[in-house]
Amino acid sequence: MKKYILILISIVFIQCKTIDKADNIRENQNIAIVIHGGAGTILKKNMSPELELEYKKVLEIAVKEGYSILKNGGTSIDAVEKTINILENSPLFNAGKGAVFTNDGKNELDASIMDGKTLKAGAVAGVTTVKNPINLARAVMEKSEHVMLAREGAEYFAKQNGLEIVDPSYFYVENRYQSLLKAKEKEKIELDHDGKASFYDSNIKDSKFGTVGCVALDKNGNITAGTSTGGMTNKKWGRVGDSPIIGAGTYANNKTCGVSATGWGEFFIRNVVAYDISALMEYKNMSIEEASKEVIQKKLTRIGGTGGIIALDKNGNIVMEFNTSGMYRAAIDKNEKLTIGIYEK
């Protein structure tokens, strides 16, 4: 009798282990991550091979870092934060170290992050001494009762919570400063994402678009989206774009998708672009591909808005949609396939 009981226990144990293994496989199979480094008039003929390689290298390092966190069981929040940190620390992009200059010759940084499980969000605008604004946005989400903090108040909150503070000179990048001087000469606001009046670069004529963003899906099915930017060159009056505005530049909801936007901020704010994609999925049962095309290629284009989005749905499906000639982007999908792109095709 004891022999039969032991055999029965062994069978149950093996079956339980098999079920656990199957559950783990199901648990991990849809992890995915997608990033962007800005969208705009990015033409291969104006890009040097060396600079193109440099962009692709940083994009690859960033997306692989985020995916590594997910693959090792980390949360989508951690993956998004660490991935954006890499992009913020690179002078190639208009975020963190590479932020553009305001009319007053300052670097004013914006960022936001949203948790698709709880719908909690954090955002900061106009900060000038916080090394990594996305970290501060996360602190606002997790350590305050608020969603958005701005300028001096946000910086005071950053110090209270032990975030890394730097002298404003840390953000100085020579070619960004030269773009400000050029914009002032034109006596016009130079939009970071507008091909008609954008950042001047000797390697990318009349085009430099660097807002960064990331969307990730972890093993628990949680989606997080985040965005970080320096805004627009020569901006005045404390102008704030879409990047720190939840629903416009960033949105995440586990029921539908996560979105990070990059483009002419005023149009993205008016169209509530990031939320609109989620809403179309929830209320009209559109796929993430259908909803993204509807918003970026039709709604946004119809009113003159330019730019793009990255998005990731609850099943790990990835979209990188833009109505410009290029968008710095990279992704690792649920099948572990790496994609890196810059130009339209």
* One-letter identity of residue 93: F
Q: The tokens 């149009």 sit on which residue? A: 267
Rounded to an integer, what distance in angstroms lies between the CA atom of residue 212 and that of residue 96? 10
Host H or E run for residue 263: strand 257-263
- What Rg, from alpha-carbon coordinates, does the chain have? 21
12 strand-pairing partners: none
- Are 171 and 97 within 8 A, CB to CB? yes
| 224 included as an active-site residue | no
Tokens of 322: 């833009």
Buried b (16+ CB within 10 A) or exposed e, 154-190: bbebbeeeebeeeeeeebebeebeebbeebeeeeebb
Which residue, 271, 217, 223, 224, is CA-closest to 245?
Answer: 271
Annotated catalytic residue: which of 128, 211, 227, 250? Answer: 211
Pairing of strands 148-150, 121-127: parallel
Which residue, 198, 202, 152, is CA-closest to 47?
Answer: 202
- Are 81 and 235 within 8 A, CB to CB? no
What strands, in cross-sheet order, belong to the sheet with 32-40? 148-150, 121-127, 109-115, 223-229, 212-217, 32-40, 326-332, 338-343
Question: Which residues touch 10 (CB under 8 Å, ≥6 apart)?
Answer: none
Catalytic center residues? 211
